[in-house]
Amino acid sequence: MQVGCNSPGLPAAFLQKILILLHVTMCVVVGKTLMILFPNAMKRYILKLGEKSRMNENPKFSYENWGPTFFSFKYLLFVLKVKWKRLEDEALEGHPAPNTPVVTLSGEVCRLFDFVQDNRPLILNFGSYFSSIADFLIIYIEEAHAVDGWAFKNNVVIKNHRSLEDRKIAAQFLQKNNPLCPVVLDTMENLSSSKYAALPERLYLLQGGKVIYKGGVGPWNYHPQEIRAILEKMK
C-alpha cells in the first residue's frame, strides 16, 4: 500500500488529514440528522456524555446552553482542529517530555521544565476557561468555547485570543478562581498545546524530564483522580 516510500512524510500526513476531514464530516452529518429525527433520544445520549464530564454539575449551565451546539458547523470546525492538531502530538508515556515555551502572567517567557523542582513530579493541567479544576501548573491554551467559535450559551464570554494580551486577560479570570495555582500561558505559536495534543483539555504528569502519565482527552476522559492514584503509588 505504501506508494512513494521515499517521501512518506508530507503525503501521508496530508492523506491522514483528508481521512480525518471525511470522518468528522460524516459523524457531524449523521449526528445532526439524528438530532433532527430523534431529538429526545439524542438529548438523552448527549446528556449521558455530559455526565462523564463536569458539564452537568453546574445547575446554571443547563443542557439547553450546550447540548444544541453539538453537530453545528462551528462544532465541526473545532473537532476538526482538535483532531488535526493531534497529529502533532510529541508527548508519549515513558518518553522525554517536550520542554515547550510558556509565558507567565507577568510576561516572562520560560519553559515547562523551569517549573520542575528537583525530582518532584510536575502535573500539567492544560485547559482554557471552561476547564478550571486546578492542580499544579495550569497552562492556558486556546479557548475551547470561544464566543466566535464553538460557543455555549450562558458561558463566560471570551473570544479566540488574537494576541498574547488577549490570552493573558482570559487567564487572569481563571487565576482569580484558582489563586493558589500557578497559571502560565501557551505562546501564540501554541506549541505547548500542539506537542502535548492538549486541546481542549488534558492532564499530564512529568518526572525526571519524562512523561509519566498522559491523561485522556477532555472533557469526557479528563480524570484528575487518576493523577491522585499515581501520586499515592509514588509515596
Ligand X SMILES: *[C@@H]1O[C@H](CO)[C@@H](O)[C@H](O)[C@H]1NC(C)=O
User: Closest approach of Cβ 234 to ligand X, in Å?
Assistant: 34
Q: Which of 154, 160, 172, 177 binds ligand X (CB under 6 A)?
A: 160
* Contact flag: residue 161 with ligand X (CB under 6 A): yes
Minimum CB distance to ligand X smaller for 45 or for 152: 152
End-to-end CA distance of the chain: 49
Residue 108: closest CA among 187, 169, 163:
187
User: Closest approach of Cβ 189 to ligand X, in Å?
Assistant: 5
CB of 203 closer than 8 Å to CB of 123:
yes
CB of 231 closer than 8 Å to CB of 224:
no
* Contact flag: residue 165 with ligand X (CB under 6 A): no
Dihedral angle computed from the Cα positions of residues 40, 42, 44 and 47, in that order, rounded to the nearest 10 degrees: -130
User: Closest approach of Cβ 200 to ligand X, in Å?
Assistant: 12
Other CB atoms within 10 A of residue 141 CB: 26
* Contact flag: residue 100 with ligand X (CB under 6 A): no
| DSSP code at position 89 | -
Minimum CB distance to ligand X smaller for 133 or for 188: 188
* Contact flag: residue 142 with ligand X (CB under 6 A): yes
> Which region among 32-40, 118-126, 182-190, 223-231 touches ligand X (by CB under 6 A)?
182-190
State how far the Cα of 84 lies from the Cα of 193, in Å rounded to an integer.
12
* Contact flag: residue 190 with ligand X (CB under 6 A): yes
Minimum CB distance to ligand X smaller for 158 or for 211: 158
- The residue with cell 493531534 is 86
Please list every residue from 9 through 68 that binds ligand X, using CB under 6 A: none
3-state secondary structure of 142: coil
User: Closest approach of Cβ 109 to ligand X, in Å?
Assistant: 16
User: Closest approach of Cβ 118 to ligand X, in Å?
Assistant: 33
CB of 127 closer than 8 Å to CB of 142:
no
Other CB atoms within 10 A of residue 20 CB: 17
Minimum CB distance to ligand X smaller for 107 or for 224: 107
What residues line the site for ligand X (CB under 6 A)? 142-143, 160-162, 188-190
